[in-house]
Amino acid sequence: MAFNPSWPKWIQASIAKHFKAAANAHNYVSLVEELEERTTEFMESPQRIEIRMNGPFVRNASANYYLMDVDVNILIFSHMDDTDDNVYDGIDIAGVMAEAASQSIPVYQLGNLVGDDGSQIACLSMTRDGVKVFHFGEITRQDRLRQFSVDAGYKLEIFL
* CATH value at residue 116: 3.30.2000.10
- Whole-model pTM above 0.85? yes
1 located within any domain? no
Identify the bridge partners of residue 156 per DSSP, sorted by sequence position. Answer: 68
Residue 2 lies in a domain: no
pLDDT, tens digit only, all 160 positions of the chain: 588 889 999 999 999 999 999 999 999 999 999 889 999 999 988 899 999 999 999 998 888 899 999 999 999 999 877 666 677 888 999 999 999 999 999 999 998 888 889 889 999 999 988 999 998 877 777 778 889 999 999 999 998 7
The C-alpha atoms of residue 149 and residue 97 are separated, in whole angstroms, by 9
The answer to whether 67 and 157 are in contact (CB under 8 A) is yes
Q: How many domains does the chain have?
A: 1
The answer to whether residue 59 is domain-embedded is yes
For residue 44, is it within any domain? yes
The DSSP string of 72-107 is EEEEEEEE--SSSTTTTHHHHHHHHHHHHHTS-EEE
* Phi, psi (degrees; rounded to nearest 5) at 77: -110, 130
Residue 100 belongs to a domain: yes
Question: Residue 84: what pLDDT?
Answer: 61
pLDDT at 40: 92
| pLDDT for the residue numbered 63 | 85
Structural domain range at position 152: 7-159
Whole-angstrom Cα Rg for the chain: 17
Q: Give the C-alpha separation, 4 to 56, whole Å.
A: 12
Helices (H), the chain: 7-25, 40-43, 89-101
Q: How many residues does the chain have?
A: 160
Q: Which helix (H) or strand (E) holds 109?
A: none
Task: Give the pLDDT score at 108.
Answer: 94
Which DSSP state fits 19? Answer: H
| pLDDT recorded at residue 124 | 96
Q: What is the distance of C-alpha 41 from the center of its chain?
A: 21
